[in-house]
Each structure stands twice: as structure tokens, then as C-alpha cells.
Amino acid sequence: MRITAIRLDRMRLPLDPPFHAAWDPVPRRSFEATLVRVETDAGVTGYGSGDTMDGFAPFAGLFIGADPLAIASHVRVLESVGFHAGRYWPLEAALWDIAGKVTGVPASVLFGGARDRLPAYASFGAALGPAERAEAAAAAAAAGFRAVKIRIDRRAPAVALEAVRAVRAAAGPDLVILCDLNQWWRMAGDLSAPLDVTAVRKLAADLAPLDVTWLEEPLPGGDLAGMRSLRRVIRVAGGEMARTVPELLAALDAGALDVLQPDVVLSVGMLRTRMVAELALLRGRWFTPHTWTNGLGLLANLHVVCGVGGGPWVEFPWDPPGWTIERRDFFLASPVRVDADGLLRVPSAPGLGAEIDEAAVARWAVSQEELR
């Protein structure tokens, strides 16, 4: 079996009303996604999605004609390309989709098959005030979620702290609350000052009595010593957008993280994430990946975290009305959903288990002229 073509479908879904992501200073008036199709001479096509794949075309020839199941070799090529260009890990996800389809099993089985489901936490994206966030947490609990993640806007941490207090007061002791400062990395062009370690240590000390389970990406990624010091106060999570395995291993070796979160379609890919996850689990750390792309990217992460037996939760982007599963999964035939008990289950279909809505792909297609 050989790879015959790699095709990219670029899409743009208008967002009206816009989505105000806490980590992005610019309101999002559209949601862009790229669908990667890896076609083979055996008639098996794999699908992946996550990062935009901008600038990939000159490198496609490194994969055409190769065996799609030689995934470790393809990962090494992607790492060499990534040094010079972008994050092209959705291509690897499409290869695992092919591998699962050829062998007739869900991709999670190829990663170890430790679990077939995990409790999902509702990952909120907007920075809302106390009353609105308490209402959203109640809605999440009614939808079956037993855990939620609240974003902390570094420009207004006091407001976020009051929102956490309101959620805890309204929800009681049983709801798991996670918090995210989003300070490890920045959106392009965002030069605003981060909260320093002193301010974050005070924030962590205020969150800990509210039984917040972890504080995510509390400091810029280079401040491993600062994150290690924060672990005396609260669990620290991070690594969602780390570019390389050594970056993640350095954080693990430095004792900077309790929870490792590389996103397999944004960070270091599925194969390398499995290695990092297993090392983290052997050292008594948690592995629960970032999943904030779209339903196909979410599924790629689900297969890896369930395959290796990570957890104890998996992230599920959900923050209606601004961020709904229909918006998130707009090019899938069926959105990825949790069940009534708040569990996210591995699809039983082989590969990643996603079905593409070709009409939606065509409807929201973006031309090369529009991308320029």
C-alpha cells in the first residue's frame, strides 16, 4: 500500500455572534479548519485535522509514494519539516486513521487499548463574570459533566477568582473545578505582559481553598522553576503547545508539572505524545491532553489518552452559546458528544471513527485567493 495523494480542504465558518476566547485579545468572527486527506492505492483514505497546515504543499513529496503504515518514519520526517515550517501533525493523525481502518480496530487499540472511555470536563473558553459563569457551570452539570475548566484572563484575575468562588458556592463540593491562565504561549502579536510568579502564587493560594484541582499554564513556558515552586500550593498543568519532545521532557525532569497536556494535532503528534504520556504516568504524573481544535482533533487526542490509560479526565471544548459542538465540529457528519453520564467514549468504528460531511466541506470551502 502506498500514499498516492495528500489533499487539504481549507474551510472557514463565520461566527455570528463572535466568540470571545479568553486567550485571544481579538474576538473570533470566524473559525478556520483544515481537513487533511491521505489517499492510498488500496482505496483507504485517512482523515486528520488540527493545525492549519499552512505552507505544507512543498513538503508533500516527502510522503507521496511511501507506505502509510511506516508511521515512525513519517514522524521523523514531520519533525525535520517542523524545524523549518509549521505544525503538520494532522497528517500523522490521518496515517493512524488509515492504520486503524486497515487493521479493523479503533486507533486507541493501536496505542494500547487501556480504556474505551473517560469522564470529560467541560472546557469553557470565554472569560465571564461570576453570575454568568455560575449559570454556565450549572448547565454543564445538567448536561452530565462532572468537571469544568474556568479560564482566567490575566488582565482581570480578580474577576476570574470571583467567578470560581461563585461556581463553587453554586455547585457545591462535588463538581471538579480546573482553572487555566493560558500563559505558556501567546497568540501571534500578543505582547501584553504576563502575570509574574509572585502574582500567580497569590492567585494559586486563593484558588487552593476553593478545591481547584489544577492551575493550567500559570507562567510562560520558560519559567520551569516558577512552575515547580507553584506546585507547593496547587497542581500545575501545561505543555499543550510545546513544539518538541525535549521541551516536554525538560518540564517533566524539572518537576515543573503535575499534569502533562500535549495536544497530538498541535504539539508533538500521536506517536511522540504516547511516549511522553507513558513516561509521565511512570513518574506518577497525569496525562490529559489539550483538545481545543475541532471534533476530529478531539478524537485523535481521545484515542491516545484512552490508549495509554491517561486521565483522570479528557478535555471537551464546550461553552455555549459562544462555543457549541455544532460550531466546533461543523464539518463532521455527527458532532462528537458526551453521554448522559458525562463520559466521552472511543468510537467503535476503525481508525479515528469520524465521518466527514462533504456538503459542509464544500459549503465552507476557502479558495487559495482568499487565503492570501
C-alpha cell of 245?
519532545
Question: Letter for the amino acid at 15?
Answer: L
SS3 91: helix
pLDDT classification of 340: cutoffs 50, 70, 90 = very high
C-alpha cell of 341?
453520564
pLDDT at 49 over 70: yes
128-174: pLDDT as tens digits: 999 999 999 999 999 999 999 999 999 999 999 999 999 999 999 99
Structure confidence at residue 25 (pLDDT): 86
Neighbours of 209 (CB within 10 A): 9
209-257: pLDDT as tens digits: 999 999 999 999 999 999 999 999 999 999 999 999 999 999 999 999 9
pLDDT at 372 over 90: no
Please state the rounded mean pLDDT for residues 272-284: 98
Structure confidence at residue 154 (pLDDT): 92
How many Å apart are CA 318 and CA 330, to the nearest integer?
Answer: 14
103-132: pLDDT as tens digits: 999 999 999 999 999 999 999 999 899 999
One DSSP character per residue, 208-237 reads: GGGTEEEEES-S-TT-HHHHHHHTTTS-EE
SS3 54: coil
Burial call 170-201: b when 16+ CB within 10 Å, e when fewer: bbeeebbbbbbbbbbbbeeeeeeebbebeebb
Please state the rounded mean pLDDT for residues 39-66: 97
Please state the rounded mean pLDDT for residues 337-348: 97
β-bridge partners, 47: 37
| CA-closest candidate to residue 160, choices 182, 139, 186 | 182
Q: Which CA distances in Å does 353 have to 38, 125, 127?
A: 15, 26, 32
pLDDT classification of 30: cutoffs 50, 70, 90 = very high
pLDDT at 369 over 80: no
Please state the rounded mean pLDDT for residues 16-45: 94
C-alpha cell of 165?
468562588
Q: What is the bridge-based pairing of β-strands 147-151 and 117-123?
A: parallel
* Distance, CA of 301 to chain centre: 7
Q: Which CATH superfamily is domain 110-345 in?
A: Enolase-like C-terminal domain (3.20.20.120)
Which CATH number does the domain 3-105+355-371 belong to among 1.10.3720.10, 3.30.390.10, 3.40.50.150, 2.60.40.10? 3.30.390.10
Please state the rounded mean pLDDT for residues 302-310: 98
- The residue that leads in pLDDT, 287 or 189, is 287
Residue 227's Cβ-side half-sphere holds a number of Cα atoms within 13 Å equal to 30
pLDDT classification of 367: cutoffs 50, 70, 90 = confident
Helices 269-282 & 295-308 angle (0-180, nearest 10): 40
Alpha-helical runs (H) found in the chain: 71-84, 89-103, 107-110, 130-142, 157-171, 197-207, 224-230, 245-253, 269-282, 295-308, 325-328, 358-363, 368-371
Structure confidence at residue 260 (pLDDT): 98
Burial of 343 (0-12, 13-18, 19+ CB in 10 A): middle
73 — phi, psi (to 5°)? -65, -40
pLDDT at 370 over 80: no
* Percent of the chain residues topping a pLDDT of 70: 99
Structure confidence at residue 368 (pLDDT): 66
pLDDT at 32 over 70: yes
pLDDT at 304 over 90: yes
| CA-closest candidate to residue 83, choices 52, 67, 66, 59 | 59
Parse the chain into domains and list their residue ranges.
Answer: 3-105+355-371, 110-345
Give the strand order in the sheet containing 45-49.
3-19, 28-40, 45-49
| CA-closest candidate to residue 71, choices 346, 79, 42 | 79
3-state secondary structure 268-323: CHHHHHHHHHHHHHHCCCEECCCCCCCHHHHHHHHHHHHHHCCECCEEEECECCCE
79-96: pLDDT as tens digits: 999 999 999 999 999 999
